[in-house]
Structure 1
Amino acid sequence: MGLAGDLSQDLLDQVKQALAANTPLRIQGSNSKAMLGNPVAGELIDTRGHSGIISYDPAELVLTARAGTPLAEIEAALAEAGQMLPWEPPHLGPAATVGGTVAAGLSGPRRPWAGAVRDHVLGSRVITGHGKLLRFGGEVMKNVAGYDLSRLLTGSFGCLGLLSEVSLKVLPRPRQCLSLRLHMPAHLALSALAEWGQQPLPISAACHDGEALCLRLEGGEGSVQSAFQRLGGELIDSRFWDDLREQRLAFFADSQPLWRLSLPIASGATGLPGRELIDWSGAQRWLKSTAPAAQIRSQAAALGGHATAYSAVADSFTPLPAALLRYHRALKQQLDPQGIFNPGRMYADL
Structure 2
Amino acid sequence: MSLDTLLDAVHQAIASATPLRIRGGDSKAFLGRPTPGTPLDTRGHRGIVSYDPTELVVSVRAGTPLRELNAALAEAGQMLPCEPPDFDGQATVGGMVAAGLAGPRRPWSGAVRDFVLGTRVITGTGKHLRFGGEVMKNVAGYDLSRLLAGSFGSLGLLTEVSLKVLPSPRCSASLTLDLGPAEALRRLTEWGQQALPISGACYHDEVLHLRLEGGEGSVAAARERLGCSAADAQFWVDLREQRLPFFRDPRPLWRLSLPFNVGLLELPGTQLLDWAGAQRWLKSDAEAGQIRAAASALGGHASCFSSGACDTPFQPLAPALLRYHQQLKAQLDPHGIFNPGRLYPEL
TM-score by length of structure 2 reads: 0.98
Q: Deviations over 1:129-183 (max 9, x none)?
A: 1110000001111011244221111100000001000000000000000000001
The one of 338, 343, 346 aligned to 1:341: 338
The one of 236, 244, 251 aligned to 1:256: 251
Contact 2:173 2:219 in 1 (8 A): yes
The one of 303, 321, 326 aligned to 1:324: 321
Greater CA deviation, 118-127 or 35-44? 35-44
The SS at the match of 2:255 is strand
User: Aligned residue for 1:22?
Assistant: 17
Q: Partners in 2 of 1:9 and 1:126 — Cα distance?
A: 13
Q: Deviations over 1:271-304 (max 9, x none)?
A: 2121110000010000011111100001000111
Q: Partners in 2 of 1:210 and 1:143 — Cα distance?
A: 46
The SS at the match of 2:154 is coil
Q: RMSD value over aligned CA atoms?
A: 0.9
The SS at the match of 1:268 is coil
Q: Deviations over 1:63-95 (max 9, x none)?
A: 110000000000000000110000000122422
The answer to whether structure 1 residue 43 and structure 2 residue 38 are counterparts is yes
1:1-350 equivalences in 2 (<5 Å): 7-311=2-306, 312-314=308-310, 315-350=312-347
Q: Partners in 2 of 1:313 and 1:23 — Cα distance?
A: 27
Contact 1:40 1:345 in 2 (8 A): yes
Shift in Å, 1:185 = 0.9
The SS at the match of 2:242 is coil
Q: Partners in 1 of 2:136 and 2:243 — Cα distance?
A: 34
The SS at the match of 2:87 is coil
Q: Partners in 1 of 2:303 and 2:172 — Cα distance?
A: 31
Shift in Å, 1:323 = 1.1
Contact 2:181 2:263 in 1 (8 A): no
Shift in Å, 1:22 = 1.0
Q: Deviations over 1:314-340 (max 9, x none)?
A: 121011111111111111111101100
Shift in Å, 1:8 = 1.5
The SS at the match of 2:81 is coil
Q: Partners in 1 of 2:185 and 2:13 — Cα distance?
A: 51
The SS at the match of 1:178 is strand
Q: Partners in 2 of 1:185 and 1:268 — Cα distance?
A: 11
Q: Partners in 1 of 2:249 and 2:265 — Cα distance?
A: 21
Aligned-partner residue type, residue 266 of structure 2: G
Shift in Å, 1:348 = 1.2
Runs (5+) with no aligned partner, structure 1: none
Q: Partners in 2 of 1:78 and 1:39 — Cα distance?
A: 34
Q: Partners in 1 of 2:181 and 2:47 — Cα distance?
A: 44
Contact 2:264 2:271 in 1 (8 A): no
Q: Partners in 1 of 2:126 and 2:21 — Cα distance?
A: 16
Contact 1:136 1:147 in 2 (8 A): no
Contact 1:29 1:97 in 2 (8 A): yes
Q: Deviations over 1:202-223 (max 9, x none)?
A: 0000000222100000000000
The SS at the match of 1:59 is helix
Aligned residues: 345
Give me the identity figure in percent: 67
TM-score by length of structure 1 reads: 0.97
Deviation beyond 4 Å, 4+ runs, structure 1: none
Aligned-partner residue type, residue 345 of structure 2: A
Shift in Å, 1:40 = 0.9
Q: Partners in 2 of 1:10 and 1:188 — Cα distance?
A: 56
